[in-house]
Amino acid sequence: MPYVPGCVQCGTRSNPCRCKVVGPTLGFLAFAVAAVVEWPVGAVVYLFRHVKGRRIMAHPAAVIYPKVTNAIPI
Statement: residue 13 has pLDDT above 90: no
Phi-psi sector, 26: left (phi>0), alpha (psi -120 to 50), beta: alpha
Distance in angstroms (rounded) separating the CA atoms of residues 50 and 9: 33
pLDDT value of residue 5: 64
* Domain regions of the chain by residue span: 9-71
Mean pLDDT of 7-36: 83
Give the separation between CA 31 and CA 72, rounded to whole angstroms.
15
Helix (H, G, I), strand (E, B) or coil at 19: strand
pLDDT at 58 over 80: yes
Query: What percent of the chain has a predicted confidence (pLDDT) above 70?
Result: 93
> Roughly how many angstroms between the first and final C-alpha of the chain, as a whole number?
25
Confidence (pTM): 0.79
